[in-house]
Structures are given as C-alpha cells and as structure tokens.
Amino acid sequence: MIPHKPRAVLLATTLLLTGCGTGAVATSGDRPPAPHRTTTAPSRPTATAAPLPRQLPGLGPTTLARVPAEARQAVVVTGHGRDSARSDVVLYERTGTGWKAGERWPAHNALRGWTDHHRAGDLRSPIGVFTLSDAGGLWPDPGTRLPYDQGRGFTATGTGFEGEPLAGSFDYVIAIDYNRRPGTTPLDWTRPLGAGRGGGIWLHVDHGGPTQGCVSLSRAHMRALLRTLDPGRHPVVVMGDAASLAR
C-alpha cells in the first residue's frame, strides 16, 4: 500500500622458511667446506572457511517450499515480532555451494506488524515470498538492471505515523509482486486479487517510522539493492516476522 561482506574466506597459506650457511675456514690443512644445511619450518594448519548454508537461514520448510527453484537472489526481511514495525534485511546470493549473505540492514515495516492475509488498510505487511520485477522512483535510475520508471508520480507528501515527513520516501522504490501485475510500473494499480486485498507494497526509502504495509530501507541501502538485483537471477523477497518465516 503506497502512503528495505560476505563471510571472509581465509586463504590457506604455507610459509616455507629456509636458512642456509656455508663457510670455508682457512687453515694450514685441507678441510672440506661446512655442509649446506636447510631447515624447513613445519607447515601451519590450513584454515578453511565455514561452508555456505545450502538453504536460506531462518526459514522453515513451509517458507522454503515457496522459494522458486530458479531464484538466485533473495531479499530476506525478518520482522522483530508479529506486531513489531521493525525488521532486518539481508540480501542473499545463491552460489554453486550455497547461499552467501550480504550485510544486515535495519528496516521498517507496517505499523501493526505482519499478517498472513493482508487486507487494504489493516496496517500490516503481507507475509510471504514474492518476486521482484520492477522498480522506479522520483530520482533517476541509479544503475539497476530492473525495468525502472522515473516520474513525478513517485512524489511523496504528508507525514508518517510518528509525525515524520514522508518527502523523499519514493525517490527509489522496488515493487513487491503482491497483488500486482509484474512487468508494469510500480504505479500500476491493477489488483489481480481485488482491491480489498490491498496492494502497492514496495521496498522504498525509509522516512524514519512505520509504514502502511511496505518495507523501508535507508537511501544508501536502497541504491545498493537496486544496483545489485538482476532479473537474470530471478530475485525474490521473503518477508515476515521471524516466527512465521521459521514455519
């Protein structure tokens, strides 16, 4: 509803320390030179990085079953509680050996928390797994691979639930494909599930308070997310409170 590094891999190193000394002492008699001596330090144990998780951390079997097999990028939004307006966001990239986690970013979600059955005006964010197909904003494209619609339609006005100004909230947005038609501008108001099920659920710039249903991240984190998401990697958002995602 319109009014969010990788683990360090230790390189295995072996230090080879070689000391040598050769001496010829002048005496009145012939004497063979001192033997060449080589000393090799014991090899240090090889350090190995912890293996990447094969499945997305924190997700239970029901949630995992909803993640498309072709998804190679997953924005995981984990709410602090069923009725909390605060959450954390981590972008995971799927590799040949598992899911690699990015940084953890603080975020806001809807004022009243989360719901399994979102309705227009309930002030809760929908729980689920949704594709990410389209982006846009008041500001120019920061370099995303997603289709990007820039225009004045993304102008935000008014104040939030805590009296904070909403201006700038839609400078960057990524449409969450909940009750919308993928492949269209985030401003498209087509609602396949009907108007009563809400819509216009976005990732957008944080305004410092709870949202009506969206997930909001800092401007810098929104730019980073836009520049990283790649339609060829079939990105999805997995969102909900921690207990719901663990089911």
In a domain, 11, yes or no: no
Per-residue confidence band for 48, with pLDDT thresholds at 50, 70 and 90: low
Whether residue 220 has pLDDT greater than 60 = yes
Please give the pLDDT value at position 49.
Answer: 65
- Judge whether 39 lies within some domain: no
Residue 147 lies in a domain: yes
Structure-block tokens of residue 203: 């990732």
Q: Residue 241: what pLDDT?
A: 98
The percentage of the chain sitting over the pLDDT mark of 70, rounded to a whole number, equals 80
User: Contact 115/125 with Cβ under 8 angstroms?
Assistant: yes
174, part of any domain: yes
How many domains is the chain built from? 1
Whether 224 maps to a domain, the answer reads yes
The residue with greater pLDDT, 242 or 52, is 242
Q: Is residue 130 part of a domain?
A: yes
Stretch 33-40: mean pLDDT: 42
Per-residue pLDDT band at 23 (split at 50, 70, 90): very low
Whether residue 110 lies inside any domain: the answer is yes
* Residue-range definition of the domain harbouring residue 104: 61-245
pTM for the full model? Answer: 0.80
